[in-house]
Homo-oligomer: A and B are copies of this chain.
Amino acid sequence: MSYKAPVKDMLFNIEHLARIDQVAQMPGFEDAGLETAQAVLEECARFNEEVVAPLNFEADKAPSSHSGTSVTTSKGFKEAYKQYTEGGWQGLQHPADFGGQGLPKTIGSACGEILNSANLSFALCPLLTDGAIEALLTAGGDELKATYLEKLISGEWTGTMNLTEPQAGSDLAAVRSRAEPQPDGTYKVFGTKIFITYGEHDMADNIVHLVLARVQGAPEGVKGISLFVVPKFMVNQDGSLGDRNDVYCVSIEHKMGIKASPTAVLQYGDHGGAIGYLVGEENRGLEYMFIMMNAARYAVGVQGIAIAERAYQKAVQYAQERVQSRPVDGSVKGAATIIHHPDVRRMLMTMRALTEGCRAMSSVAAAAYDAAHHHPDAEVRKQNQTFYEFMVPLVKGYSTEMSLEATDLGVQVHGGMGFIEETGAAQYYRDAKILTIYEGTSAIQANDLVGRKTARDGGQTAKAIAAQIEATEKELAAGSADAQAVARRLKAARQAFIDVVDFIAAQAKADPNAAYAGSVPYMLLAGNLVAGWQLGRALLVAEKALAGGSNDAGFMKAKIATARFYADHILTRAPGTRDAIVEGADSVMALPMDAF
């Protein structure tokens, strides 16, 4: 059950695909070069391998528990969280002005993967705090910033996102929680919020809830939603904690996975009203919440990569130990370790290729985020912002869907033992399933990709990315046999992608059912293509390194083999997906609703 962070692969991506050297030229990131990345990742790996990862399995067996209005987290969580905050990990990507380390996302994202591989349930608490910090940084007034940011960035207090209500899941227009303005400028908040991750726990002194609610008289729908800060404990002028606020945890959910993370039902205002502070302006809550959600969506995509990596490591370990049956090629006389068997290899390679492909994609997306925020040239910032925004639904949607495949294969490699909870592989299978759901289901990601990211600009951004991919294809086509094979698959997948983009752009208004019928397959195709593209780039780097006498030939050869496998076995799915989207839209809606 041990976990070893894939620091080498991360640094490869950071150096060669995300180009940390370019990031380090941007104002504010002068100290964030490859050496920093290496130092941070190695320390991050050590902490998570030794402190956080060992808690994962036991915490699944003995999850968080609820009693009265309080929640006790799993054994060891509180102590590990203390170490986490002491190490300054919460502040990694946040501004130095408020005590953070101000590192680029290019580095922070890799740290996020490590933390999530170590313990998905534990990692959710910092993940939500990050979202709260982003929202306050972007939209909070000076007083809110002064009161909350330092404590959140240090990890002394944690944050939550309160969107969902029983009738309002994907549909935030249905939010009913209400906020009544008070003479002193505060609000009283009333309502019930569900599915609040770490909505109550015992790891920090205070919990800062960011809550969507309607102010009386606000417009209907999403344009009438405001965002509020509602602290669990009121904060005195001197920063010390004051009275208990009127927000209480009434229960936590009994879930299939991520059991150690408490998922709370929070009741606001049953005892006179929870005191809340408006973030930014009234009725702009959704806009601000999207800031948190976009950060969180990217982070959930990284969770997919993280759980896939953990499942992969476990499966490899088992395959290298378990002896069963003679190899079909007769290479071993008697029974051999199952990693000799071609189908076990196919499963492991699939897990590996999916994980490395998505990791490469997420790394490049992180660098774009950094450039979008830190590049001195406004035009470059804009281009990178556009690219990053296109990537968010792919990182979230594709990486999480692929994590279902990877964790399934992880169980499968173990055979019957995989189904026994004591083995640990089953936990990853159960944990992963939330990832395609929370912070926007795969369908919500796909809607975003279809609507805001593709149809709105007539497919322009998508085509610009396709053109970049074509350039990589050309480089590959002039290379080795492996490179050429990858070029061929990339080309077919890109052409499939372009067909789909044209179809989506044309149909989004003309026949929205047709466009949206293909939304999730489109997202998967796009993610598949971009991940395959990044592995194609990685192959070029690796071949060049080998030609230059790399002192890590084993790693470089493995990268080439993985990229080739991805092209042969994953990119080959793309043309069929195209056919289903472009030629199969009508059959999605053909069966009348009442005929199901």
Q: Using a CB–CB distance below 8 Å, which chain A residues touch chain B?
A: 164, 167, 169-171, 173-174, 195, 253-257, 316, 319-320, 323-325, 328-330, 335, 337, 339-346, 348-349, 352, 404, 408, 411-412, 415-422, 426, 429-430, 433-434, 436-438, 441-443, 446-447, 512-517, 519-521, 554, 557-558, 561-562, 564-565, 567-569, 572-577, 579-580, 583-584, 587-591, 593, 595-596
- Supplied contacts A343-B443, A416-B437, A568-B580, 7 more A-B pairs, CB within 8 Å: A167-B323, A169-B417, A171-B335, A257-B419, A343-B517, A418-B433, A562-B591
| Cβ distance A53 to chain B, nearest Cβ, rounded Å | 19
Residues of B near A349 (CB, < 8 A) are 587-588, 591
Alpha-carbon gap, A438 to B588, bound state (A): 34
**What are 8 A-B contacts defined by CB distance under 8 Å?**
A328-B516, A329-B512, A330-B512, A345-B517, A346-B521, A412-B442, A562-B591, A565-B584
Residues of B near A422 (CB, < 8 A) are 254
Question: Across chains A and B, which 8 residue pairs bring their CB atoms closest together, nearest first?
Answer: A568-B584, A256-B426, A342-B517, A328-B512, A343-B443, A171-B325, A342-B516, A565-B587
Chain A binding surface SS class? helix
Residues of B near A513 (CB, < 8 A) are 328-329, 342
Alpha-carbon gap, A437 to B575, bound state (A): 30
Residues of B near A169 (CB, < 8 A) are 324, 415-417
* Identical chains bound together, number: 2
Residues of B near A345 (CB, < 8 A) are 517, 588-589, 591
Residue in chain B with minimal CB distance to A436:
B412
Question: Which one of B320, B324, B408 contacts A596 once the chains associate, using CB atoms below 8 Å?
Answer: B320
Alpha-carbon gap, A126 to B320, bound state (A): 37
Residues of B near A573 (CB, < 8 A) are 573, 576
| Cβ distance A87 to chain B, nearest Cβ, rounded Å | 31
Please tell me if the beta carbons of A446 and B343 are within 8 angstroms of each other in the complex. yes
Alpha-carbon gap, A596 to B561, bound state (A): 11
Please tell me if the beta carbons of B588 and A416 are within 8 angstroms of each other in the complex. no
Please tell me if the beta carbons of A519 and B342 are within 8 angstroms of each other in the complex. yes
Please tell me if the beta carbons of B562 and A572 are within 8 angstroms of each other in the complex. no
Question: Which one of B316, B421, B558 contacts A255 once the chains associate, using CB atoms below 8 Å?
Answer: B421
Q: Taking each of A173, A443, A587, A591, which has the highest tally of chain B beta carbons within 10 Å of its own beta carbon?
A: A587
Please tell me if the beta carbons of B443 and A419 are within 8 angstroms of each other in the complex. no
Question: Which one of B173, B335, B584 contacts A572 once the chains associate, using CB atoms below 8 Å?
Answer: B584
Please tell me if the beta carbons of A341 and B443 are within 8 angstroms of each other in the complex. yes
